[in-house]
Amino acid sequence: MSAITIQPDFAWCVLAAVAMGLQCTVHGFSVGAARKRYKVPHPDNGSGRFAAKLDDQDWEAFNNVNRAHLNYVENLANAQSSVLLAGLFCPRTSAILGLTYIIGRSLYATLYAKNGPQGRMAGFVVTTLAYVGMVGVTVFGSLQAIGLF
């Protein structure tokens, strides 16, 4: 069995994980702006009494922004842990995959808000490929560390 050494380049993975968290927070600000614009205060999450007063176009616009952010929240822990775990084995590759994930998330949110659910596909593909890459690096590195590869 081999020991895992944290390399100096691992700091890039830490920065990628922090950037993901900051990006998710900034995406949350866009939901706040949409709440103000469409007059959908808390605790209405897009299907409550206030959202019910919106016309179909405004309801969909609010929910597109909200859904893009919630999807990020749902996936953030997996993405951050994956970039850090993959970084233990291959920090540069992991950091690049983390940056790719961040770019994909930006595409996802922007295109979802602009074009609705069908607009999210480009960002979905980019983030999924980056995430699968980080998981692959983690699994491969783990198998190497325990001597199975």
Burial label, 5 (beta-carbon count in 10 A; 0-12, 13-18, 19+): exposed
* Domains of the chain with CATH codes: 10-145 (1.20.120.550)
pLDDT one digit per residue (tens) for the chain, 149 residues: 567 789 999 999 999 999 999 999 999 999 999 999 999 999 999 999 999 999 999 999 999 999 999 999 999 999 999 999 999 999 999 999 999 999 999 999 999 999 999 999 999 999 999 999 999 999 999 999 999 98
Question: Can you tell me which residue has the tokens 């775990």?
Answer: 85
What pLDDT score does 98 carry?
99
What pLDDT score does 3 carry?
73
What pLDDT score does 37 carry?
97
What pLDDT score does 2 carry?
64
Closest by Cα among 88, 92, 81 to 131: 81
Q: How far is CA 121 from CA 4, 11, 79, 111, in A?
A: 37, 31, 18, 8
Question: Can you tell me which residue has the tokens 């950037």?
Answer: 19
Angle at 70 between CA 19 and CA 40, to 5 degrees: 120
Question: What tokens does 97 get?
Answer: 């995959």
> CB 27: neighbour CB atoms within 10 A?
22
Question: pTM, whole model, 2 decimals?
Answer: 0.93
Question: What tokens does 26 get?
Answer: 């900034």
